[in-house]
Structure 1
């Protein structure tokens, strides 16, 4: 019988972290999907804040790993926080070698996942009478916010929606409620909200409540463990494997660009 191919080095999927237990449960559900799709792969969760384990703890006992940020844009957490956490891990285990992958987004499959969640909420996909508000958490990094605007523009070109426009739950304008009200005032027959968020928690609850209060027709669920995200995680893992591993001592590991 032919030998089975190696599943590859362990995958450490690093999420932002939340005090809300629904967030960690969602990450674990996503990784369970990854393990089903890639039998034998050692896929572990880690968190930058508010939850355990930390990246250093998740890497304990390993000589090599692929570290993937479970983040939807390249912003402060992926550019600063995660490399710093990996440098801290090297202090515990000299010689540890990692391949640092790209954030999950942007990626074309994320639009498919967003549409999946809208359909689950009862939205007719591509309806010309429906305006979509794409809501991200928001960032102090203007480039990260600009990526959300670009995703909205790409989605608007893909489908005959009334419009697709961005909004931000924090740190940038417009807020979801501001954008919902603007669109209704501009004559949009219906306005729906698509959260560009990985897991439920403070931001998702805030977005839902504010958007509905402003008159939104539907608010979709978060991306969560959608099958499209499983595919993206494995693609980012494969891309990272193609890069040379880097020691995490004095400099941040090289990242695979999206």
Structure 2
């Protein structure tokens, strides 16, 4: 029997965001009815990843996150410590997510790639690389500068009439909702709503299975 696919989301107080993450995990389960697919959370919601890990023997943790920040390095790492359960790479950055963003972008004079802020230089570099692929300006929905609203306002001053925000956020929540108040003309939907996300979860899972098998040879 294959290991349980344990998808671990951040957790949100947004009812829409909670539903979107549940729907994403349900899509994964429908694609692979042979797998035991479960959902846990690193923060805000229950069951916490540590609680679910305690009840499974053999599993692969797939973080439903776009960067390997605190929740991966601390919460998830603590939950699997001493269990031998592997943790895959996060969903982002990945080219398929950039393609998903590009697919949903309308015609615009300027595009702003909006991500959650981070002080991690490697993460920020990956955001700039994705923005370059989209021909977009970089801005952050939280923490780091420049903020999305400031970049949009600056583009307006420079003559941009139609501005689109490419939302590099997985689900609805506080950060995503701020994008709709940033003064742009359009905002792409959360990434978990597209077909690329479910396929990417399974790709991360299968990659971990192959890596584990190679180590046993």
In 2 relative to 1, CA 84–59 (structure 1 residues): closer, same or farther, beyond 3 Å?
Answer: closer
Match of 2:210 in 1: 242
Contact 1:75/1:144 (<8 A) preserved: no
Match of 1:218 in 2: 186
Aligned-partner Cα distance in 2 for 1:175–1:197: 15
Q: Deviations over 1:98-142 (max 9, x none)?
A: 121000011111012213443xxxx23xxxx53111111112323
Match of 1:137 in 2: 116
Match of 2:66 in 1: 72
Match of 2:48 in 1: 54
Give the TM-score taking structure 2 as reference length. Answer: 0.90
Query: How many residues were matched structurally?
Result: 213
Aligned-residue offset at 1:53: 0.7
Aligned-partner Cα distance in 1 for 2:138–2:38: 32
Contact 2:170/2:192 (<8 A) preserved: yes
Match of 1:36 in 2: 30
Aligned-partner Cα distance in 2 for 1:59–1:84: 11
Contact 1:190/1:217 (<8 A) preserved: yes
Q: Deviations over 1:43-101 (max 9, x none)?
A: 111111110111122223311100011111222222233212323xx5xxxxx331210
Would you say 1:82 and 2:83 are equivalent positions? no
Aligned-residue offset at 1:238: 0.9
Match of 1:159 in 2: none
Unpaired runs of 5+ residues, structure 1, are: 1-5, 91-95, 157-163, 246-258
Contact 2:11/2:42 (<8 A) preserved: yes
Match of 1:199 in 2: 171
Aligned-partner Cα distance in 2 for 1:19–1:85: 22
Would you say 1:100 and 2:68 are equivalent positions? no
Contact 2:50/2:76 (<8 A) preserved: no
Aligned-residue offset at 1:171: 1.4
Aligned-partner Cα distance in 2 for 1:117–1:223: 10
Unpaired runs of 5+ residues, structure 2, are: none
Secondary structure, counterpart of 1:100 in structure 2: coil
Q: CA RMSD in A?
A: 1.8
Aligned-residue offset at 1:32: 1.1
Aligned-partner Cα distance in 2 for 1:41–1:225: 21
Aligned-partner Cα distance in 1 for 2:75–2:117: 17
Q: Which has the larger radius of gyration?
A: 1
